[in-house]
Homo-oligomer: A and B are copies of this chain.
Amino acid sequence: MEENKIKENKIKVALLGLGTVGTGVYKLIHRRGDVMERTIGAELEIFRILVHSLKKERPGIDASLLTDNWQEILADDEIQIVIEVMGGIEPARTMILDALHAGKHVVTANKDLVAEYGKELLDAAEAGKCDFLFEAAVAGGIPIIRPLKQCLAGNEISEVIGIVNGTTNYILTKMFEDNMSFEEALAKATELGYAEADPTADVEGLDAGRKVAIMASIAFHSRVVFKDVYTEGITKITSKDIAYAKEFDSVIKLLGVAHNTENGIEVGVYPMLLNKDHPLASVRDSFNAVFVHGDAVDDAMFYGRGAGELPTASAVMGDIIDVARDIQYHCNGRISCTCYKELPIKDFDDVKNKFFLRMQVKNQPGVLACIAKVFGDHKVSIARVVQKHAKENEAELVIVTDKVKEYHLKDALGELRGIDSILDISSLIREY
Contacts and interface: CB of A to CB of B under 8 A. Distances in A.
A152 B331 contact: no
A347 interface: no
Interface in A136-152: 141-143, 146-147, 150-152
Interface in A313-330: 313-318, 320-322, 325-326, 329-330
Interface in A280-324: 281-284, 287, 289, 294-305, 308, 310-311, 313-318, 320-322
Contacts of A331: 1, 326, 329-331, 334
Contacts of A156: 31-32
Contact of A296 (B2, B298, B301, B317): B317
Contacts of A221: 35, 38
Interface string A165-180: 0000000000000000
A154 interface: yes
A305 B151 CA distance: 14
Nearest to A149: B39
B296 A28 contact: yes
Interface string A399-429: 0000000000000000000000000000000
Contacts of A142: 300
B154 A135 contact: no
A155 interface: yes
B284 A318 contact: no
Interface of A is mostly: mixed
A89 interface: no
A370 interface: no
A147 B315 CA distance: 10
A30 to B, nearest CB: 11
A141 B300 CA distance: 8
Contact of A298 (B38, B289, B294, B310): B310
Nearest to A299: B304
A135 B394 CA distance: 60
A29 to B, nearest CB: 8
Given A1-B333, A299-B304, A331-B326, A143 B141 contact: no
A305 to B, nearest CB: 5
Copies in the complex: 2
A279 B301 CA distance: 11
A247 interface: no
A129 interface: yes
A277 interface: yes
B39 A340 contact: yes
Nearest to A146: B151
Interface string A259-292: 0000000000000000001010111100101000
Contacts of A141: 296-298, 300
B154 A28 contact: yes
Given A300-B141, A303-B301, A330-B2, A314 B154 contact: yes
Residue among A299, A308, A318, A322 with most chain B CB within 10 A: A318
Contacts of A154: 28, 32, 35, 313-314, 316-318, 320-321
Contacts of A329: 329, 331, 333-334
A385 interface: no
Contacts of A314: 152, 154-155, 294, 296-297
Shortest 6 CB-CB distances between A and B: which pairs? A154-B317, A143-B151, A300-B304, A331-B331, A296-B314, A329-B331
Given A146-B150, A147-B151, A297-B305, 7 more contacts: A143-B150, A143-B152, A154-B320, A155-B317, A277-B284, A301-B303, A301-B304
Interface of A: 1-2, 24, 28, 31-32, 35, 38-39, 129, 135, 141-143, 146-147, 150-156, 221, 277, 279, 281-284, 287, 289, 294-305, 308, 310-311, 313-318, 320-322, 325-326, 329-331, 333-335, 338, 340
